Structure 1
Amino acid sequence: MLTASETLGRVVVSATNAWRRAVLRRHGLRRRTIHLPDSETDIVCWMPKDVERTCNQKPSVLLLHGFGSNGTESWASHVSSLFRHFALFIPDLLFFGSSTTSRLERSELFQAHGIHTAILSLRVNQSFVIGHSYGGFVAYRLAHLYPEFVTKLIIVASGIMMDCHNNDYALRKTGANSVYDILAPTSVPALKQTLELVLNGTPKIPDFVLKAMLKRSSCGAD
């Protein structure tokens, strides 16, 4: 049986994610699962309700989220500034959110191929691409592999100047044993360390909410 704090944490996290989904719907987007031709991969993506009509009126923008996040969580707060000017496509990258595959590949090349195939299946042949953090690596690979598809490219906070010293600093600051522990925390103290590093300060989030966030993340939900 859940404690009162655990129940409250789940309510807070669920309500926050419900609000994000409502924001996306309010701005004319719908959530759809795209089954790729390999029959092993499903890409979940927010997109305009009428893709063809919207893309005829506005340029397309593909928004790619960072590691440990998903499309809904990363981009909901930006949609209101973008939807009037662009046809928005917001996928969950594979292994995050609700996108899944039974293929064994684990690389940004595989991510880029899957996203490209999914968006082409919607008859969208060109797009601006914006990638944040890990999504920036995928965005770069999209431009590298499919230059005819990517008309403009923006990469945000993807650590393009990183070297081994950056990892050493992150390990010292957080006290983590490995970079993996920072990228994929499994406990509330570890998640606090990660957030402190990412946010450059101590996060003011109650432990019971952080615990619910970890639980939801481990289930792959958004």
Structure 2
Amino acid sequence: MSCFSFTATRDWCYRSIFTKSGLRSTITDLGDGTVIHCWVPKTRKESKPNLLLIHGFGANALWQWGDLIPYLVPTSTSTSQISSSSGTPTPLDPSGPSRSRPSA
């Protein structure tokens, strides 16, 4: 019997953000036990420059870059409407989340 995992669920959400943003997971074996995992565009556009995001210590790259990925996707596509759990506005919603201010 398996139990619900918040970590596994959040990992699935981030993986969905990367996939819906037009990226695919790829693994390259460099030999001698060295393996590099990357997220690369599903289709490469020569007109677009290469961008390399390197994550540091802590969680994996999905968790560190997941909230930024929608901002790197062209706003003309529907995938840029992906919302983040942090309440950060998406590229098609420059106004951000509406919040009421407490009255004085």
Fold equivalence (TM over 0.5): yes
The answer to whether the aligner puts 1:49 opposite 2:49 as a matched pair is no
Alpha-carbon separation, structure 2, partners of 1:22 and 1:79: 11
Which residue does 1:210 correspond to in 2?
Answer: none
Pair 1:73-2:73 in alignment: no
What letter matches 1:43 in structure 2? I
- In 2, distance between residues paired with 1:64 and 1:44? 11
Give distance in 2, aligned partners of 1:31 and 1:80.
Answer: 16
Equivalent pairs, count: 75
Query: In the TM superposition, what are the counterparts of 1:91-170 in structure 2 within 5 Å?
Result: none
Q: Deviations for 1:100-128, whole angstroms, at most 9, x for unmatched residues?
A: xxxxxxxxxxxxxxxxxxxxxxxxxxxxx
1:40 aligns with 2:30: no
How far off is 1:39 after superposition? 3.5
Task: Give secondary structure in 1 for the equivalent of 2:13.
Answer: helix
Alignment correspondent of 2:17: 23
Question: Per-residue deviation at 1:40?
Answer: 1.9
> What is the DSSP-based 3-state SS (H/G/I as helix, E as strand, rest coil) of the residue aligned with 1:62?
coil
**CA radius of gyration, larger in:** 1
CA–CA distance in 2 between the matches of 1:42 and 1:28?
23
TM-score (structure 1 length as normaliser): 0.31
TM-score, normalised to structure 2, is 0.63
In the alignment, structure 2 segments of 5+ residues that lack a partner are 76-104
Q: Runs of 5+ in structure 1 lacking a partner?
A: 86-222
Post-superposition offset of 1:65: 1.0
Match for 1:59 among 49, 55, 67? 49
What SS does the corresponding residue of 1:47 show, helix, strand or coil? strand
Amino acid at match of 1:35: D
